[in-house]
Amino acid sequence: TLAPRLSEIFKTDQAYIWSSAVDPSGNIYLGSGGDGKVFKVDATGKGVLFTDLAEMNVSAIAVGKSGEIFAATSPDGKVYRLRANGNAEVYFSPNDKYIWSLAVLADGSLAVGTGEGGRIYKVRAANASPEASLLFDTSETHIITLAADKQGNLYAGTDSNGIVMKFGADGKPFGLLDSSLREIHELAIGPDGSVYVLALGESASAPKTDAAATPAATPESKTVSVEKPNPATPETPVKSRYDLSAAKSAVYRILPDGSTDVIWASPTITGFSLYAHANGSGVLVGTSDKGRIYNISNNGSETLALQTDANQISTIRTDGKALLATSSNQGSLYKFGPETVAEGSYDSAVLDAKGTATWGRIWWRSIGSVTVQTRSGNTEKPDETWSGWSTALSDQKGAPIASPKARFIQWRTVLKAGNA
């Protein structure tokens, strides 16, 4: 399918964007890492430096019931309230090294998740004392993510035991999920009340050492061989998505009745951000894998939605019209959808026939404006010795392949936007 149209609308000139939020007027607030800056980007895409805070990282941003902006910082964390002119005042100052997460509750109070003590605060007014505001002191190290639903429930995701807790009106926790992965990195509430959970095998909040640097990616295979099935060497069975023994990240869905399902897991991709679709069909997962965003449906199907030029997609939000993604390395704001690009092409892997082959027919199934072409050659990688692309075929019933006899063949399809 054609990808969503992607446009970079603002560059912060910062290396990292760790947090973002959208206010009722469509303004987007971006919290950076390294310099502790907050940027404001209006609905037209014009961005300005909104405020420069004293701490290094703006780890969370939330919009209050009255439209006020709250920004949490780390290390030696504080929560600031930002005025409309960008002036910042300390709103809450707990005795915690890190503030990882914020959530605005139904009654207007502000939930604050911290580390290294793993405490959750419920702050009702400016300059409230930490002791009076303490909701719960967990046995976990970090409260990485918080989310609130319309019924007034608060959900918390932790590191380092990968637990999701639910707090009701009585303020007591109930464990909804104990993941085999270490960190619950983000929570998102679906329209039906389901809680989507992004869990990571390694902590994204713990300091990284050189020895723990990300290994080089395995090159993608671009050649597919023709092999006859051999009963003596059966195919290796595909691992179930429920097998998380080697998973780098996974997405759970906790249904309103409390039952839990793993809808996606990957041994190679590290997810970093999560967005629940408004229609309840599933989630988007932003990754640190080439700045890609995957669409994951509730039944577990995975689609690569788009790829950016950034290293990592840090957050995914919506302004009610389009989707907004922030990136790190470099810190930029992107807008994508709902319209698609006007035209896109897909080149297949090169097919190796293991010998000079005479080609038969090519046909396909499609909806919309689609054409298909082929080319062939005798070198493993297409080069100047290959035939040119054949005349484009538009009737999906197909035709005999016009490309000359050769060992290798490749097909290409071009999709154009239209009514379908």
pLDDT digits (tens, 9 = 90+) for 296-335: 999 999 999 999 888 899 999 999 989 999 999 889 999 9
Check residue 233 and give its pLDDT: 64
Highest mean pLDDT among 36-40, 43-47, 204-208, 304-308: 36-40
pLDDT for position 214: 43
Whole-structure pTM value: 0.87
Q: Provide the pLDDT confidence category of residue 220 given band limits of 50, 70 and 90.
A: low
For 12-28, b/e burial (b = at least 16 CB within 10 A) is: bebebbbbbbbeeeebb
Residue range 236-249: mean pLDDT, rounded: 81
Whether pLDDT at 230 is above 90: no
- What is residue 130's predicted lDDT score, i.e. its pLDDT? 96
Q: Residue 114: its pLDDT value, please?
A: 96
**Rounded-to-integer distance, Cα 402 and Cα 93, Å:** 72
Residue with tokens 């895409």: 45
Angle at 122 between CA 120 and CA 125, to 5 degrees: 145
- Any idea of the CA torsion for 136, 138, 143, 148, to the nearest 10 degrees? -40
Mean pLDDT (the chain) is 91
Q: Which amino acid, residue 377? A: G
The whole-angstrom separation of Cα 46 and Cα 83 is 19
The model's pLDDT over 52-73, given as tens digits with 9 standing for 90+, comes to: 999 999 999 999 998 999 999 9
Q: Percentage of the chain with pLDDT > 70?
A: 92
Q: What is the pLDDT of residue 234?
A: 65
Residue 403 contacts residue 374 (beta carbons within 8 Å): yes
- Kindly indicate the confidence band of residue 218, based on its pLDDT and cuts at 50, 70 and 90: very low
What mean pLDDT do residues 393-413 have?
A: 97
